[in-house]
Amino acid sequence: MAQSNRILAFNDPWHDSSFCFYGDDEVLHIESERLTRHKYEAVNPILVFCELFPEKIDDFRCIVFEESPDAVTSFVKNLVALKRQSGSRAVNYGPMPYGTQLIREQVPNAPVLESTERVEAFVRHLLRPDVNIFFAGHHASHAANAFYSSGFASALTVTWDGIGTDYVLDNIRRTLTVAGVEAPAHSISGSVFRCEGRRCVPAHHVTDCSVGFAWARVAEHVLGHEWGEEGTVMAMAALGDPRRYRKDFQYPWVWLPKPEGNLDPRTADGFKAFFAGLRDSLHDEQDCFDIAAALQEATENRFRHFLARFIGPDDHDLCLAGGAILNCQMVGKVREWFPHVRRVFVPPAPYDGGICIGAAQLVFHGEMGLPLRWTTGLPPFAMGPEYSLLSIVGACRSARVQMTEMTIRQALAMLLEGKVLGWFSGPAESGRRALGHRSIIADPRIPGMKERLNAQIKHRQWFRPFAPMILAEEVADWFECDSDFQSPYMSFAIPARPECRARVPAIVHVDGSARVQTVHRELTPRLHAALSEWKAMSGIPLLLNTSFNEREPIVETPADALNTMKRAQLDGVFFADAGILATPMAEALPAISRVLPKCLWSLRVAGGNRAAVEFLDDPGRVRIVIHRLASDANYDIQLNQTRYAVAANSRYRLTFRGRADADRDVCLGFSKASAPWSNLGLYRKLQLTTDWRDYSEDFVATSDEDNARIHFDLGDAGIAVELSSVLFWRISDTGLVAVGRSELRPRAV
């Protein structure tokens, strides 16, 4: 039965498909990517809702959609129009779209759903006369998500992103409309609202530039990153010098508020020429860092000048939202720019994935006048579904992992040993940041921890930083901020105190900053207690905290967590609420007296011997078994077809993980591909043990070589070894630079 004080809200996504329930007794936020496992998912969120909650299809009498010209809203508006035209007669509506134009571009054969039982039931519910349908402006929803969640009595609220549809500023100052009421709307890229009590009134719309488009253009068209990798560009900026490219960002091409496909031919030609010139100017990694630094500097200048136009002397509270507000370096400087601003609030999901929350709040608080849910300034961030002990145990059994009952203190003790754990607790976080419910955690004091996490677990660029979670009451002792500084959703990057940086190197970026999460007893009491326990054990009140994922959305379910544990080679997953540590099942290497049953290779080597090689599920991992057929045979197994270029007298590092069927001596070498027994500066004996261990060897190249390779000399005729994550680095003055990752494609020499 429909309930009046519960709202169902959807965004209309080009990306970040989501929906939420919002009411007196419940707030639930679902981001579709967590279920589909596809980052920035653009699927129609109606379909996800109908799939997950068939029992709730007719529960809501008030339903809100983001105002938009795209697929979801267009379908609903067409449905409303047909309903009005047909009166009491049956409505013959068209097929439900699977997703937006973005999906149709990425997947040319993306379906439309002619009918499914659940979707048809939901459409019939939308057509009921007692169901109220609203449409909420894009930036109005961003603003509502920030202000109504902040707990502030009043605030200046500013939004910044790529583009969205809002109602034209007129005397009415609309933020939403009722189904059937048409109002003029236009595309904007930012806005300013004056908010007080239950009212958010638009005061200004940004139509002359798009910061969101600027970052996407530079990331994709200039630096060659995949869509959505603006965060990588922000990390790059700390290693660059903005001066070389400063003038380029004074031109309008980067900031054009229209998508490239909507430009007139003359503008399009200038646009293409400008970005082609930037691409052609990039010759090495430092050039990329410099252009990122210039973009960051230009963005911060624009944002500061924009805020200065609207922040008055009496504006002490500021709310921020929109995709561009994910730029924590920029947001972290706002209070420095405007010292009289006491508090800055950014919601847990300030980007388009949080629009559905703001749309629901516009109706619940702004239209219905119902009381605010949160008045403390610390609204909950864990707004996803919870998972029972039974579901956790079932997932562990299905994944065939080892389960061990364990206390929180015992799990934290593993971090003191250098272990890296997935931490799974309560409902999933809402938003991009892992905040202790779906996190990977580690001891930030351990040398090389940042490099290990980037290279072997997260599999991403060497320069990417990691964030700390810290007890809120101790943040000012470690970072340059006031004692009342709050960053519960990891929204602000601030400088670490110089005297503390060397103590926790894994969470300090190259510019000395960190994107801080303050852990508050009143917001997350269990996490606060765990971090307090860690302080008692280690002497420091902070842990390294990064999102529980590996080039994918943050894990949602226990099964997701266990899959990522195996793929990322975590030391385990601690299900904190259940007190269960899941670790990979002990897997013995095969005895060397038998041939592996699923060998994909049988390699002929010296003396008529054979080496059996088995590829595992992970293409970056290989198992080798050599059978004793001659007592004097030595084996040099070339484990990758990748070739590397090295420069004489330059420093390099080779890292890998390995184990053997027994304690075995092997030799690790780096040689010319054309001369397998040559030595380019590295030929060292190592001991592999029966346990997985991380190995790291530094060396200085003895000569220039454009065609070098890594090899392992296994020595004995009877041996079984397993290797993974073979990585090659150049050691520069600023840190480690990834040169390549072995694809582990074996061949015998």
Report, at the CATH architecture level, how domain 389-584 is classified: Alpha-Beta Complex (3.90)
Delimit the CATH 3.30.420.40 region(s) of the chain.
139-145+154-168+184-348
CB 367 within 8 A of CB 47: no
Distances from the Cα of 208 to the Cα of 254, 327, 331, angstroms: 12, 20, 22
Predicted confidence band of residue 642 (pLDDT cuts 50, 70, 90)? low
pLDDT at 598: 33
Rounded-to-integer distance, Cα 377 and Cα 155, Å: 12
Of 40-49, 460-469, 700-709, the poorest mean pLDDT is in 700-709
Distances from the Cα of 747 to the Cα of 285, 451, 603, 611, 661, angstroms: 32, 29, 7, 10, 21
Predicted confidence band of residue 622 (pLDDT cuts 50, 70, 90)? low
Average pLDDT over residues 332-359: 97
Q: DSSP state, 370?
A: P
Superfamily classification of domain 139-145+154-168+184-348: ATPase, nucleotide binding domain (3.30.420.40)
Instruction: Calculate the dihedral angle through the C-alpha atoms of 534, 537, 538, 544, rounding to the nearest 10 degrees.
Output: -20
> Tokens 């269960």 sit at which residue?
580
pLDDT at 116: 80
Angle at 264 between CA 259 and CA 269, to 5 degrees: 90
Here the tokens at position 97 are 């779209």
pLDDT at 723: 72
Given the DSSP bridges, would you call strands 513-519 and 492-495 parallel, antiparallel or unpaired?
antiparallel
pLDDT at 745: 42
pLDDT at 25: 82
Average pLDDT over residues 567-577: 95
Over the stretch 579-618, which tens digit does the pLDDT of each residue have?
A: 999 999 865 544 433 333 333 333 333 444 444 444 444 4
Average pLDDT over residues 468-476: 98
Predicted confidence band of residue 529 (pLDDT cuts 50, 70, 90)? very high
Of 345-359, 373-387, 415-429, the poorest mean pLDDT is in 373-387
Over the stretch 140-175, which tens digit does the pLDDT of each residue have?
A: 999 999 999 999 999 999 999 999 999 999 989 999
H or E segment to which residue 449 belongs: helix 449-452
pLDDT at 397: 93
In single-letter form, the type of residue at position 611 comes to: A
Count of CA atoms in the C-beta half-sphere (13 A) of 683: 12
pLDDT above 70 for 481: yes
Helices (H) and strands (E) in the chain, counts: 20, 35
Predicted confidence band of residue 715 (pLDDT cuts 50, 70, 90)? low
Rounded-to-integer distance, Cα 354 and Cα 357, Å: 5
Count of CA atoms in the C-beta half-sphere (13 A) of 203: 15
Predicted confidence band of residue 718 (pLDDT cuts 50, 70, 90)? low
pLDDT above 90 for 634: no
Rounded-to-integer distance, Cα 749 and Cα 381, Å: 56
pLDDT above 80 for 90: no
Over the stretch 647-677, which tens digit does the pLDDT of each residue have?
A: 888 888 888 878 877 777 777 888 887 665 6
Rounded-to-integer distance, Cα 292 and Cα 294, Å: 5
pLDDT at 89: 53
Find out if CATH 1.10.3720.10 is the number for domain 601-748: no
Per-residue HEC secondary structure of 168-219 comes to: CCCCCCCCEEECCCCCCEEEEEEEEEEEECCEEEEEEEECCCCHHHHHHHHH
In single-letter form, the type of residue at position 428 comes to: A
Over the stretch 407-445, which tens digit does the pLDDT of each residue have?
A: 999 999 999 999 999 999 999 999 999 999 999 999 999
Given the DSSP bridges, would you call strands 421-424 and 572-575 parallel, antiparallel or unpaired?
parallel
- Give 35's contacts (C-beta < 8 A, 6+ positions apart): 48, 52, 556
pLDDT at 180: 81
Among positive and negative, which fits the CA dihedral 126, 129, 130, 135?
Answer: positive
Over the stretch 681-693, which tens digit does the pLDDT of each residue have?
A: 888 888 888 777 8
Q: DSSP state, 618?
A: S
Predicted confidence band of residue 625 (pLDDT cuts 50, 70, 90)? low
Rounded-to-integer distance, Cα 631 and Cα 609, Å: 10
Q: Which residue has the higher pLDDT, 80 or 422?
A: 422
pLDDT at 343: 97
Mean pLDDT, the chain, whole residue set: 86
Given the DSSP bridges, would you call strands 112-113 and 96-97 parallel, antiparallel or unpaired?
antiparallel
pLDDT at 425: 97
Cβ count within 10 A of residue 409: 12
Q: Which of 66, 5, 53, 52 is nearest to 354 (CA)?
A: 66
Of 88-97, 183-192, 460-469, the poorest mean pLDDT is in 88-97
CB 346 within 8 A of CB 491: yes
Predicted confidence band of residue 563 (pLDDT cuts 50, 70, 90)? very high
Rounded-to-integer distance, Cα 157 and Cα 26, Å: 25
pLDDT above 90 for 236: yes
Rounded-to-integer distance, Cα 459 and Cα 669, Å: 24
pLDDT at 115: 60
pLDDT at 593: 33
pLDDT at 545: 98
Average pLDDT over residues 459-486: 96
pLDDT at 252: 92
pLDDT at 105: 52
pLDDT at 738: 67
Here the tokens at position 373 are 């849910």
Rounded-to-integer distance, Cα 461 and Cα 211, Å: 24
Predicted confidence band of residue 719 (pLDDT cuts 50, 70, 90)? low
Q: Which residue has the higher pLDDT, 144 or 734?
A: 144
pLDDT at 521: 97
Delimit the CATH 3.90.870.20 region(s) of the chain.
389-584
Predicted confidence band of residue 645 (pLDDT cuts 50, 70, 90)? confident
pLDDT at 109: 58
Rounded-to-integer distance, Cα 687 and Cα 670, Å: 17
Instruction: Calculate the dihedral angle through the C-alpha atoms of 46, 52, 56, 60, rounding to the nearest 10 degrees.
Output: -30
Rounded-to-integer distance, Cα 695 and Cα 668, Å: 11
pLDDT at 635: 45
Delimit the CATH 2.60.120.260 region(s) of the chain.
601-748
Q: Which of 743, 701, 720, 478 is nearest to 611 (CA)?
A: 720
Of 77-86, 177-186, 268-277, 529-538, the poorest mean pLDDT is in 77-86
3-state secondary structure of 720: strand
Over the stretch 504-515, which tens digit does the pLDDT of each residue have?
A: 999 999 999 999
Among positive and negative, which fits the CA dihedral 349, 352, 356, 358?
Answer: positive
Q: What share of the chain has pLDDT > 70, as a percent?
A: 85
